[in-house]
Amino acid sequence: MATSSQMGDGVQRVRVLGRAAARRDGQPPGRAGWAFAALLTARTVSASGTAFTQVAMAFAILSLGGTAASIGLVLGAAAVSQFAPLLVGGVLADRLPRRLLMQTCDVAAGLAQLAVSVLLIIGQARIWELLIAAVLVAAATAFSMPAAPALLAETIPADRLQRANGWLSIADSGAAFAGPLAAGLLVAAAGSGYAFLADAASFGLSAVLLARVPAGCRERAEAASFSAQLKKGWAEVASRRWYWLNLSSQSLYNLALSAVYVLGPVIALHRFGGAASWGIITAAMAVGAVVGGILVLRIRPRRPLVAGNLALVPGAALMFALAFSGRMLLVTAAALVTFAGTAFLNGVWQTTVQRHIPQDVMARVSSYDYLLSFATSPIGLAVAGPLALAFGPVAVLVTAAALIVVPSSLICLSGSVRRIRAEDSAET
């Protein structure tokens, strides 16, 4: 985690960026610039803390006598615990003030991580306590996820949404790159408990920063039962052909990408020398995501969904490189290109959704987006290994490449996808 003085400098730089962006867009620096500065800083702080915990959790479990199976159990339980809160959070984020909902989830997650840090530091932690905390934090995070893009659209003018999403993507990617490295150093120097303490502090600081975001003006969701509001959200998804086509294609992409996370480390071990090689490849993924965020800042395609989906197609190169190449440099370059395309798609997709989905249902619609993404990734992680044993890793990786290229290309032929234009901001 950054020191207090470094964090203050970072906040000031973000404020300057916000004012500069406002001037470039022909708007006076004011409410939107300050609100985005707070949102961006909160996102960066929270993402950095989460990256700390991702490293610290495994070492904490091992230090308590756990095994790889114990790590898998904790991480698996945390992943499963996210499904139901996504839908509930989507409904509540359309009913309640979104900023308050996100702050409440930050506080809840921070308290859970604080409890774990204390138990680890005093030497009284047990694995089942880490499991409960992981489930609580994952559920709280999932609960607030649908509110985040809706709050951004509620706060930032429509013509500045793509730049805002680009900066948020860069913040996430930078945290994913630097966070694990810093966490590893902290765990080695002081122990896992202090990494959890840093994450608890990041949740608290995020909640404080979100208080700087003004409450937006929007029409709240209709006063109806929970099930009726949930059905309304699904109806909004199903009524937009361009939306559910993209969700289907992106779900297949996430399914395919899971093969990389399962088979990549094994291939790196046998072909490139082991963990250090895989570390370089994953670092290239994070760098690629930063590059993708920069592209979101600089490129505004007329047909954003066509450009975003086509940006996913080069991801097949990573599958083929892992399947056939013995050159580490080629695999690393393919990883960078793949994740640059992924980040670019995410940026233009999020911007398109924020411009075309009505505010009063946006969180519910986003909850279905996240739910489908979460559903396919665990499936891919579960089946990639057994399928590789049955048919060989090459067959699995080539199939994954097809799951990327075919849907991402065919979807661009749809008239509903091609009709979505960057200059449009009305409901479609």
The CATH number linked to 80 is: 1.20.1250.20
Q: State the pLDDT confidence band at 316, using cuts at 50, 70 and 90.
A: very high
Q: Are 264 and 118 part of one and the same domain? A: no
Each residue's pLDDT tens digit, 361-375: 889 988 998 888 778
User: What does the block give as tokens for 423?
Assistant: 């200059």
Q: Please provide the DSSP assignment of 272-299 as one string.
A: I-SHHHHHHHHHHHHHHHHHHHHHHHH-
Do the domain assignments include residue 229? no
Question: What are the angstrom distances between the C-alpha of 370 and each of 30, 90, 109, 218, 373?
Answer: 32, 10, 19, 23, 5
Q: What pLDDT, in 10s, does the model give residues 391-401?
A: 998 999 999 99
Domain boundary among 155, 188, 218: 218
Same structural domain, 38 and 187: yes
In this structure, the chain runs to a length of 428
pLDDT of residue 13: 39
pLDDT value of position 26: 36
54/31 Cα distance (integer angstroms): 35
Last residue within a domain, chosen from 218, 248, 269: 218
351 against 186, higher pLDDT: 351
- Which of the given ranges, 71-75, 79-83, 218-222, has the highest pLDDT on average? 79-83
User: Taking the CA atoms of the chain, what radius of gyration do you get in angstroms?
Assistant: 21
Asked whether residue 386 is assigned to any structural domain, the reply reads yes
Same domain, 253 and 133: no
pLDDT of residue 407: 94
382: domain range?
239-418
- The helix-helix angle for 83-95 and 98-121 (nearest 10°) equals 140
320-368 pLDDT, tens digit per residue, is: 999 998 788 999 999 999 999 999 999 999 899 888 888 888 899 889 9
Q: Are residues 276 and 355 in the same domain?
A: yes
Do 89 and 147 touch, CB atoms closer than 8 A? yes
- Return the pLDDT at 7: 33
- Number of folded domains that form the chain: 2
Q: Which helix (H) or strand (E) holds 332?
A: helix 328-356
Owner of token pair 């959200």: 233
Helix (H) or strand (E) holding 308: helix 304-312
pLDDT by residue (tens digit) across 87-121?
Answer: 899 999 888 888 999 999 999 999 999 999 999 99
In terms of domains, do 210 and 334 share one? no
372 and 401 in a single domain? The answer is yes
> What CA–CA distance (Å, rounded) separates 371 from 190?
37
In a domain, 425, yes or no: no
Cβ neighbours of residue 150 closer than 8 Å, sequence gap 6 or more: 93, 94, 98, 354, 359, 362, 363, 366
Mean pLDDT of the chain: 83
Burial class (CB in 10 A: 0-12, 13-18, 19+), 320: middle
* Shared domain check, 244 and 214: no
What tokens does 75 get? 């991480």
Whether residue 211 sits in one domain with residue 253: no
Asked if the model's pLDDT at residue 405 lies above 90, the reply is: yes
Q: Is 227 a member of any domain?
A: no
Provide the pLDDT for residue 16.
39
**pLDDT tens per residue across span 26-64:** 333 455 677 888 888 888 888 888 777 877 887 888 888
DSSP string, 403-414: HHHHHHHHGGG-
For residue 404, being part of any structural domain is answered with yes
Same domain, 25 and 152: yes
Q: Please check whether residues 283 and 189 belong to one and the same domain.
A: no
Give the pLDDT score at 24: 39
Closest CA to 113 of 204, 231, 223, 244: 204
pLDDT digits (tens, 9 = 90+) for 219-251: 555 667 888 888 888 998 889 999 999 999 999
DSSP 157: -
Q: What is the pLDDT of residue 424?
A: 59
Of 188, 218, 248, the residue that ends a domain is 218
Residues 39, 151: contact at Cβ < 8 Å? yes
Any domain includes 183: yes
Please report whether residue 230 resides in a domain: no
Helix spans in 64-160 (H)? 68-80, 83-95, 98-121, 127-144, 147-155
Same-domain check for residues 126 and 252: no
Residue 179 within any structural domain of the chain: yes
Answer yes or no: is pLDDT of 197 > 90.
Answer: yes
Same structural domain, 310 and 185 = no
Contact 75, 218 (CB under 8 A): no
For residue 271, which of 222, 326, 324 has the smallest C-alpha distance? 326
pLDDT more than 70, % of the chain: 88
> Given this model, what pLDDT does residue 76 score?
76
Q: Are 38 and 167 in contact (CB under 8 A)?
A: no
> Is the separation of the CB atoms in 18 and 34 below 8 Å?
yes
